[in-house]
Chains A and B, each alone.
Chain A
Amino acid sequence: MQYSHDTHNHTHEAHDHEEMGFWTKYVFSTDHKWIGIQYGITSLLFLLFGFVLMGLMRWQLAYPGTPIPVFGPILEKMLGSAAAGGVMSADLYNSFGAMHGTIMVFLGIVPLAFAAFGNYVVPLQIGAPDMTFPRLNMASYWLYFLGGVVMVISFFLPGGAAQSGWTSYSPLATIIPTQGQTWWLLGMVLLINSSLLGAVNFLATIIQLRAPGMTWMRLPFFVWAQFVTAFLLLLAFPPLEAAGVMQLMDKLFGCSFFLPTGLIISGKVADVSGGGSPLLWQHLFWFLAHPEVYVLILPAMGIVSEILCNNIRKPIWGYKSLVYSLFAIGFLSFIVWAHHMYMTGMGTAISTFFQTTTLIISIPSVIILTVFFITLWGGSIRFNTQMLFTLAFLVMFGIGGLTGLPLGFNFVDLFLHDSYYVIAHFHYIVAPGTIFALFAGVYYWFPKATGRYMCDFWGRVHFWCSLVFMNVVFFPMFTQGIAGMSRRMYDGGVNYSQAANKGLLGALPDSAIYSNVIISIGAWMLLLAQIPFIFNFFWSMRNGRKVESDNPWDATTLEWQTPTPPPHGNFAVEPTVYRGPYEYSVPGAVRDFIPQNEIDNKGKAKAPKS
């Protein structure tokens, strides 16, 4: 292996890159770190975009039928009659809802959690010079980018973007006459191929490019999390691609994969052969989309474990339990998908099976969370911004996870299905759960990528505002859902309220309707609370406090044993690993941490020459 032996860290990058032009360095880069940053910035922008869509929808829910202030006229100008008079039409509401889900999941969180952090951190943590297939890595990013472009363009098509939810259930998705759904499917095919390339690359990298001495049980937990996530993406996404191809055949060639015999549209028998199965779509969709939930959460857990150990200065309690739980989750996540389909009438025997597996999968999830909590015990915690986000993750994810248990029982699900309760449960896992972990990751690895800290004060402002408003937004949704409010109502439930149906048993109580206003205000405040983060992120790149060393958090894992920022090829000297990932506060050591590449505990770097 050929490594550069230049030891002057900061001249390194210029040295390695001097022959590269602008395009190969910044646009069509094959360097895993730059691709990670490309992924990171693109996906953060998509997260913002998806959030703004929801911000607009929240106006319609809180004040149904009234023009949206400020943004209404802009929408009308951009999208025409769909936002006539600045009022969000039902069609526009539907397409914003569908695209909010799609963008947040497929263009925001997965690329950020898996592709961005994974790309930047995994090769560094295992001591590799780059990903196994750097050009595939680049192709993966550009396929993702193209998929994003297709999704964004679909907003401006006649009739707007896809309207049938991020789940795109057929027959509805097939028979809507606008082109939005076709573009959605094309965009999804691009995104699926992108994630396929990414998954193959990650797995090959972790299996093949571990540095000497980096045995499986010395892998940082973050790498394990990405490893299992990559397997989920590799094996769960293709069925959705198959389903997407079939829905595309239905849309473009008039097939009937998902259209039953005798389908009637607007009072007329549809001109289709029939004989298809709407349930087939749901099975194939959820076969991806349930593992996808774990794709969303596992990288977040990986980030949490890194930051947790680093800031309590203790090894993780039960490393092996964590790893085995990951595998249990990875395996079980493939056999729980139909708990999303209890209401489809697929039969009690099948429901019972999936109810059982669903409850079993909660065990490893609880083990992971418990391990994190026990790890906290007796630690002396450093409360920096990333640690605050991490601690909040533990609690918020706990709420999200526990409120999911009732949904796993199919007799309770009969009542809660498709209500705001489901929204609250899912968002507690993904928004104050995963997204908080991702923020923590940004604050934690920012100094490695840029050589500068993010501002701690504005980080705390960002954290506390986000924490408060996340709960203002999502907590009332539990009560709305239990009160019986359906998640699909365009007017925020006004037509089903007690006010509109005097004396009707089961009509929505006033409190559920009023909650809409509180939630909406919370959502807009949450949006404002991201401004400190955005500002901090860009301002700190150039003006943040400089790091004093290559290892500013006194961490043990290998990414901190590189120059800052790491040069092309990552390590000045090929690292050799001598110990596990979390050797903090080892008795008898001169410092309270021992990096993985140190032979003894005397505090001297003992990396042998390559």
Chain B
Amino acid sequence: MEIPYTVKERKDTGLYNAKLGIWLFLASEVMLFGALFSAYILLRVGATPGTWPHGLLNVPLGTLNTIVLIVSSVTVVMAWASLKMNQFGKWRMYQAATLVCALIFLVIKSFEYHDKLTHYEVVTKEGDKHHVYDGHLVQEDKDKVVLHPSAHRLYTARAIALGFGPEPAGAHAPADHGAKGHAEKEALVTIQRSTIEHMENYGPKHHPYLAIYFTLTGLHALHVIGGALVMAFFFGPGAKMWKTDPERFTNRIEISGLFWHFVDLVWIFLFPVLYLL
């Protein structure tokens, strides 16, 4: 028994099976990411006015990553086109280029994650007075914590409740915090451990913005990893099929390419939504 249209297209639909399959799969992926984007919208609309963070992410790095992915979607097309033109050598080059782009993207992304996970908000209490510090962790031991105050921060409900909110709170906000902190950027803050009431990094727990940021980009990164693994397989052991069944192999490259384009497209939406807006 053989299943028809696995390689050749069916005349009335103009598709071979796997191509239809991947388009259907991508339709469901649109709904998956669509749901997360609508979650983003609801969280943002529902946030206390003035507390949704802006400029928290590194725009130059994000732009670089966008360019990396766009380049990869060009190489992915070129890879498929090379096979169509029967140029296996060129295909290898383009396939490798795509894989390198995927790797660069993930490395840059992990630097961005690291930046968020070493960024802390520290609430202290001395006597009756609360204080909120915010910055990147420089040094930490069992007596004290040293932070490097950051120009870009967000305001948690906890900080706002203690009177350390973004705007009108400026009157009694201490000098070392706030968006105007550029001038004090260099000054390190040392905090005694014994006074710390609460210390939390900019992980997904910290704020709904970070929660949706990590969820969206994490899920996207999983897609990048998945796509890269499949393409790496085609680059390595999977490439043997070129000798036995070149047309089917070309189809496989087309399918993985379609998936890859989708992953790029998701990023094209993620970038402005999370970095710019």
Q: Which A residues form the contact surface with B (CB < 8 A)?
A: 1-4, 16, 128-130, 132-134, 196, 199-201, 203-204, 207-209, 234-239, 241-243, 245-246, 249, 253-257, 261-262, 272-277, 279-280, 283-284, 287, 568-570
Docked CA distance A597–B211 (Å): 57
Interface residues of B in 1-57 (CB under 8 A from A): 1-5, 10, 13, 15, 17-18, 20-21, 24-25, 27-29, 31-36, 38-39, 42-43, 46-48, 51
- 23 residue pairs from A and B, CB less than 8 Å apart: A4-B1, A129-B2, A129-B3, A132-B17, A132-B20, A132-B21, A203-B20, A204-B21, A207-B20, A208-B5, A234-B27, A243-B39, A246-B36, A253-B204, A254-B204, A254-B205, A257-B211, A257-B215, A262-B157, A273-B158, A275-B43, A275-B207, A276-B211
Q: Binding site of B, secondary structure by majority: helix, strand, loop or mixed? A: helix
Give the number of chain B interface residues (Cβ < 8 Å).
45
> Which residues of A lie under 8 Å from residue B268 when comparing CB positions?
none
Nearest residue, chain B, Cβ from A203 = B24
Decide: A234 and B36 in contact? CB cutoff 8 A: no
Docked CA distance A236–B35 (Å): 10
CB distance from B134 to the nearest CB of A (A): 14
Nearest residue, chain A, Cβ from B44 = A275
> Which residues of B lie under 8 Å from residue A287 when comparing CB positions?
35
Decide: A1 and B2 in contact? CB cutoff 8 A: yes
> Which residues of A lie under 8 Å from residue B48 when comparing CB positions?
261, 275
Which 5 A-B residue pairings sit nearest by Cβ, starting from the closest?
A569-B1, A239-B35, A242-B35, A238-B32, A238-B31
**Which listed residue (A129, A132, A242) contacts B1, Cβ 8 A?**
A129
Decide: A237 and B208 in contact? CB cutoff 8 A: no
Quick check: is B220 within 8 A (CB to CB) of the other chain? no
Decide: B215 and A256 in contact? CB cutoff 8 A: no
User: Given the interface contacts A204-B24, A238-B28, A238-B32, does A253 sit within 8 Å of B43 by beta carbon?
Assistant: no
**Which listed residue (A2, A133, A207) contacts B13, Cβ 8 A?**
A207
User: Given the interface contacts A238-B28, A239-B32, A280-B43, does A253 sit within 8 Å of B1 by beta carbon?
Assistant: no
12 other A-B residue contacts (CB within 8 Å) besides A200-B25, A200-B28, A242-B32: A4-B1, A203-B20, A207-B13, A234-B28, A235-B31, A238-B32, A239-B35, A241-B32, A246-B215, A249-B211, A275-B47, A275-B48
Docked CA distance A272–B214 (Å): 17
Contact code string B188-211 (vs A, CB < 8 Å = 1, else 0)? 000000000000000111111001
Decide: B205 and A253 in contact? CB cutoff 8 A: yes
CB distance from A349 to the nearest CB of B (A): 16
> Which residues of A lie under 8 Å from residue B18 when comparing CB positions?
133
With most chain B CB atoms within 10 A of its CB, the pick from A241, A243, A255, A569 is A255
Decide: A257 and B208 in contact? CB cutoff 8 A: yes
Nearest residue, chain B, Cβ from A31 = B1
> Which residues of A lie under 8 Å from residue B203 when comparing CB positions?
253
Contact code string B205-227 (vs A, CB < 8 Å = 1, else 0)? 11110011011000100000000
> Which residues of A lie under 8 Å from residue B118 when comparing CB positions?
none
Decide: B20 and A2 in contact? CB cutoff 8 A: no
Docked CA distance A503–B122 (Å): 58
Docked CA distance A276–B43 (Å): 6
CB distance from B12 to the nearest CB of A (A): 9
Decide: A277 and B46 in contact? CB cutoff 8 A: yes
Docked CA distance A1–B207 (Å): 58
Decide: A273 and B207 in contact? CB cutoff 8 A: yes
Decide: A209 and B32 in contact? CB cutoff 8 A: no
Decide: A3 and B28 in contact? CB cutoff 8 A: no
